[in-house]
């Protein structure tokens, strides 16, 4: 797996250095699975969710011959390959915190479960222009492979892609999976999807509308950054944190329906959303970064944008923040 690195990474990091009282999500990091069962030959994707771009060290503390890891250090997304039957214990470490997963590997039998990577696109018979369909499974050299996740940067920079349809079997999509697909206009996300990584749709400048399914539990930073044609986004209940720069530079965004389970809105979440004249913030939100809208000025007001929260209307970020619980 080639780690997806954005040229604007410095911007993400600088946003995380702000240490305001409402600057960070209250959600604690957690692994997308604490237990897994795989077959020898399978690959699987595991994610440290709600991890604000901190480096994660991965290690196998027992059963080292049973599994292999794609990378010992990354930003919280790991591909595991099952090698032989047995039990392995995986640990993700961020600073002094530890997050653990127990992985049981059985004998190889039947179809293999895999994480779709860029090198497997041709084998899977997936076209990269026009309407792109990512199937739940495919046959290659008389073997069946089931796709359960999409690896980081898997289909990035496919500028001739126009429509994207993803199989219902896929639950995790890695960082930058469809970044810079500048011709992409329409996306159908699977109803079982649980995680979208950092900048999955970064600079998909033709994308107009997106509906996130109720199964969603976590999204990464800069998810729709620089999607300048995006006009409408709908979040079903389930998402609890809107991270840094979710809609950064989405100048065409007019309507956004936020999850009623949302508790936190991060820095620059709506930066330069100049067409968004009203934001209805769910009553569940109790923490907002001071620069969630302007990106720089806590007292920002443009005379056009209003913020609705708990039955009250606020005409500036400062007024809204003052009303928030301390």
Which domains does the chain show, CATH number per domain? 30-106 (2.60.40.10), 116-323 (3.80.10.10)
Strands 43-49 and 30-31: antiparallel
Give the range among 45-49, 185-189, 303-307 with minimum mean pLDDT: 303-307
Token digits of residue 159: 């500028």
The answer, yes or no, to whether residue 299 has pLDDT greater than 60, is no
Q: Give the pLDDT band (50/70/90) at residue 25.
A: very low
pLDDT in tens, 84-122: 999 999 999 999 999 999 999 999 999 999 999 999 999
Per-residue model confidence (pLDDT) at position 58: 98
Query: How many residues are recorded in the chain?
Result: 326
In the three-class reduction of DSSP (H, G, I as helix; E, B as strand; rest coil), residue 293 is classed as coil
Q: State residue 19's pLDDT score.
A: 35
Q: Residue 120 in 3-state DSSP?
A: helix
Tokens representing 154 are 């898997």
151: nearest Cα among 131, 178, 133: 178
Q: Which of 141-145, 168-172, 277-281, 298-302 has the lowest mean pLDDT?
A: 298-302
* pLDDT for residue 254 is more than 60: yes
Answer whether residue 14 shows pLDDT above 60: no
**Mean pLDDT computed over every residue of the chain:** 90
The model carries a pTM of 0.90
Residue bearing the bigger pLDDT, 62 or 1: 62
Report the C-alpha gap between 274 and 57 in whole angstroms: 39
Query: How far is Cα 280 from Cα 16, in angstroms, rounded to an integer?
Result: 25
Q: Is the pLDDT of residue 177 over 90?
A: yes
With the C-alpha atoms ordered 228, 189, 44, 238, is the resulting torsion angle positive or negative?
positive
Structure tokens at 79: 């591909």
pLDDT of 180 higher than 60: yes
- Summarize pLDDT for 140-170 with one digit per residue, the tens: 999 999 999 999 999 999 999 999 999 999 9
pLDDT of residue 277: 85
Residue 149 bridge partners (DSSP): 115, 172
pLDDT in tens, 33-73: 999 999 999 999 999 999 877 899 999 999 999 999 999 99
Asked whether the predicted pLDDT for residue 290 surpasses 90, the reply is no
């Amino acid at each position: 797996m080639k780690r997806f690195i954005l040229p604007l990474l410095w911007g993400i990091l600088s946003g995380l250095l702000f240490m305001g009282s409402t600057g960070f999500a209250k959600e604690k990091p957690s692994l997308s699975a604490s237990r897994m069962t795989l077959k020898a030959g399978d690959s699987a994707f595991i994610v440290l969710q709600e991890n604000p771009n901190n480096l994660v060290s991965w290690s196998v503390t027992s059963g080292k011959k049973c599994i292999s890891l794609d990378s010992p250090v990354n930003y919280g997304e790991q591909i595991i390959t099952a090698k032989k039957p047995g039990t392995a214990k995986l640990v993700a470490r961020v600073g002094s915190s530890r997050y653990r997963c127990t992985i049981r590997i059985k004998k190889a039998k039947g179809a293999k479960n895999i994480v779709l990577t860029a090198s497997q696109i041709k084998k899977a018979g997936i076209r990269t222009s026009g309407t792109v369909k990512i199937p739940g499974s495919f046959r290659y050299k008389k073997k069946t492979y089931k796709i359960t996740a999409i690896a980081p940067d898997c289909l990035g920079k496919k500028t001739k892609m126009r429509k994207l349809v993803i199989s219902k079997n896929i639950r995790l999509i890695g960082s930058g999976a469809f970044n810079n697909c500048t011709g992409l206009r329409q996306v159908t996300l699977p109803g079982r999807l649980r995680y979208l990584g950092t900048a999955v749709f970064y600079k998909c400048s033709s994308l107009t509308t997106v509906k996130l399914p109720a199964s969603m539990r976590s999204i990464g930073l800069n998810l729709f950054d620089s999607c300048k044609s995006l006009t409408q986004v709908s979040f079903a209940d389930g998402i609890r944190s809107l991270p840094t720069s979710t809609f950064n530079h989405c100048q065409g965004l007019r309507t956004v329906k936020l999850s009623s389970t949302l508790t936190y809105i991060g820095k620059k979440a709506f930066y330069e959303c100049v067409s968004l004249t009203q934001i209805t913030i769910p009553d569940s939100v109790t923490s907002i970064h001071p620069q969630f809208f302007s990106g720089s000025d806590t007292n920002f007001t443009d005379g056009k944008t209003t913020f609705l929260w708990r039955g009250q209307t606020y005409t500036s970020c400062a007024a809204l923040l003052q009303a928030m619980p301390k």
